[in-house]
Amino acid sequence: MRVRWSGKAKTELENTLDFWSENNKSDSLRAIFFVHNDHHYFPL
């Protein structure tokens, strides 16, 4: 299954990724994101 992004949708996706990268520069948020995305590092 191939998905073709329209120019507008692709731009919105890139803007969203840019927004998240700009707003998640906190080390604690980055660490939480890392923990929740790597099962080897779950604290439980």
**pTM of the predicted structure, to 2 decimals:** 0.29
- Tell me how crowded residue 15 is: count the other CB atoms within 10 A of its CB: 10
Average pLDDT, the chain: 62
pLDDT digits (tens, 9 = 90+) for 1-44: 465 656 676 677 777 777 766 765 666 656 655 555 555 554 54
Give the pLDDT of residue 44: 41
